[in-house]
Structure 1
Amino acid sequence: MDNPNHRPGRRHPRTEPPTLVVGVHLVLLDGDTVLLGRRHNTSYANGMWHLPAGHMEPGETVTRAMTREAEEELGILIAEDDLALVHTLHHLDADDGRSRLHLFFRPARHDGQVRNAEPHRCDALRFWRLDQLPANTVPYTAHALGEITRGSALSTVGWPA
């Protein structure tokens, strides 16, 4: 009998496509510095510095997710057309084994003053020199900022070599 899942050259039976968690990250630069927030009262990376970020919600485009997160976390308005994708990171999370696609956006401009609009989740906002990030920066964030500085559009972290 023929196996309907068999395809010449395939090593594994047919499976569902992988489910990716999609994260959006705001790279707000001021000269050679970048805005980071120190996470507070969070289940992930509590006490560590991280870019303003969040996850895409159902029914939302990645650019809308980024503009929503910027407004929720920093109180600023960014037009979706003013976002430039500056890096994509495919991350295999060692903590939970989930595959995550992180998209890093740089805004051409924004309206409003940057402020800590979520003090219950972030206890400090600060601009850090790109070449002197704090030691307690979320590792994949530090990796992505290094890749952005080098002009790299794509990287992977956590995957076996």
Structure 2
Amino acid sequence: MKQRYQVTVDVHVILERGSDILLCLRDGTGYRDGWFCLPSGHLEDGETIIDCAIREVREEVAVTIDRRDLRPATVVHHLSPEGQPRLGVFFSASRWYGEPVNAEPAKCADLLWAPVKQLPDNTVPYTTAGISLYLDGVGTGLHGWPELAPAH
């Protein structure tokens, strides 16, 4: 019997302040350390994507988002360079409670408010793809798949 396709689900949150977004500098994680990403994490068993977004932002940057302030941004079907597929669900929010701080210094070296249209060169490509799709108003896209797939 053929196994059903299963994929890791990542949830990312684009915190917007004017034309800037909040980025986290990865450190001590073993994956893309020294690169910027959004507050994000893996969906846990029994958790909704909305609850995951709220939890990850609270854990990583110590702010609280009301679920009504989360807006769907885009979905990215990503294929890592190692050939592992992932599904990235991106949300955006321009309102939250509290001031962002680095709440996970063992995994994050710094926080940066960066112009959304001028991301640092060392931004994780998967993150950049999701932000680009969001800015272009594209609801779903692909990243990392062979050239036969459209860019987005």
TM exceeding 0.5? yes
Which of 117, 123, 126 in structure 2 is aligned with 1:137? 123
Q: 1:22 — aligned with what? A: 9
Contact 1:36 1:50 in 2 (8 A): yes
Q: 2:105 — aligned with what? A: 119
Task: After superposition, give the CA deviation of every residue in 1:123-146 in whole Å (9 maximum; x if it has no partner).
Answer: 110111122111111011112111
**In the alignment, does 2:13 pair up with 1:39?**
no
Provide structure 2 residue ranges, at least 5 long, that are not aligned to the other structure.
Answer: none
How far is the alpha carbon of 1:33 from its aligned partner? 1.1
How far is the alpha carbon of 1:42 from its aligned partner? 1.0
Q: Hey, what's the Cα distance between the residues in 1 that align with 2:28 and 2:80?
A: 21
| Letter of the 1:121 counterpart | K
SS at match of 1:27: strand
TM-score for the superposition, normalised by structure 1: 0.87
Contact 1:38 1:122 in 2 (8 A): yes
TM-score for the superposition, normalised by structure 2: 0.92
Provide structure 1 residue ranges, at least 5 long, that are not aligned to the other structure.
Answer: 1-13
| Letter of the 2:95 counterpart | R
1:12-161 to 2 correspondence within 5 Å?
Answer: 15-95=2-82, 97-160=83-146, 161=148
What value does the CA root-mean-square deviation take over the aligned residues?
Answer: 1.2
Q: State the number of aligned residues.
A: 147
Contact 1:91 1:157 in 2 (8 A): yes
Aligned residues: percent identity? Answer: 37
- For the pair shown, the structure with the greater C-alpha radius of gyration is 1
